[in-house]
Amino acid sequence: MEQIDFVLLRGLAREAGHWGNFVDRVESQDFCQSAYALDLPGMGRFHKISSPLSVGEMAEFIMAEIEQLPRNPRAPLVLLSVSLGSMVAIELAHRYPQKFSKIILMNVSVASLSPIHHRLMLSAWKSMVKIMAQKSPRAREQAVLQMVSNNAEAQGRVLSQWEEIAKKRSPKPANVLRQLIAAAAFRLPKQRPLCPMVIFASESDRMVDVRCSKKLAQHWQIPIHTHPSAGHELALDAPEWVIEKVAESLSL
């Protein structure tokens, strides 16, 4: 199998650092040449700039970042994305289909197919109120983990890392709001992008209803694989499963 470069894109109010050691896990696979975790504008190393109000602008920002990566431009490139990052990946695939050999979407939702109470479940709204009420970075990140992860061991393993990220590069509330606005406004392209796509989803996601991913899979006739117990943070709760499914999807 030809070695592939991966670009990983995060979701709402998250940054590249929240992938933890998952990037290294991907890069250690025989099928991977290099793996790059990129930050959306307004997050991570770009936390001081304003987040765009459209997914299209985010996609153009990420495309500019991809063009600057120290990689062989002729090597196959796969996007591995979650949630809001998956909306950006869809837009990139629509605008630059020739650039990507495959798009992997995890726990994705789009307004044109799913109602708001599925895209962000009622329990998640309640959790977000609790998160915003926390005064310390540790308590806030612990509340986030309780919302997005169903794996207590994994939560305990990354809590201190997420706390440090929050202390160093906590996203501005205005940027989180701007991301929410962009996500709410995003609509699917009229035509499915030409490059191959696959969806991974969590049946037990308590943030985004799994029906959102299933509706997109049905609408565009995209293969979908679901994990029975992982939460929204699929790569945190079930990293080996994700890597196994990535390998399977690349062999098709």
Token pair recorded at residue 148: 């997005």
In the prediction, which pLDDT does 141 show? 95
From 17, 12, 48, 37, select the one nearest 182 (Cα to Cα).
12
Mean pLDDT for the chain overall: 95
- Which amino acid makes up residue 107? N
- pLDDT, tens only, 141-179: 999 999 999 999 999 999 999 999 999 999 999 999 999
In the prediction, which pLDDT does 252 show? 61
In the prediction, which pLDDT does 1 show? 59
In the prediction, which pLDDT does 46 show? 97
d(CA 8, CA 37): 5
Q: Which residue has the tokens 């945190």?
A: 236
Q: Which residue has the tokens 């440090």?
A: 164
Q: Would you say the pTM of this structure is higher than 0.85?
A: yes
Token pair recorded at residue 71: 């990689």
Domains of the chain from N-terminus onward = 4-251 (3.40.50.1820)
**Is pLDDT above 70 for 120?**
yes
How far is the CA of 230 from the CAs of 29, 97, 208, 234, in angstroms? Answer: 22, 30, 12, 6
- pLDDT, tens only, 57-101: 999 999 999 999 999 888 899 999 999 999 999 999 999 999 999
- Which amino acid makes up residue 110? V
- pLDDT, tens only, 187-196: 999 999 999 9
- pLDDT, tens only, 201-213: 999 999 999 999 9
Give, for 201, the enclosing helix (H) or strand (E).
strand 197-202
Contact 159, 138 (CB under 8 A): yes
From 99, 193, 207, 92, select the one nearest 147 (Cα to Cα).
207
Contact 176, 153 (CB under 8 A): no
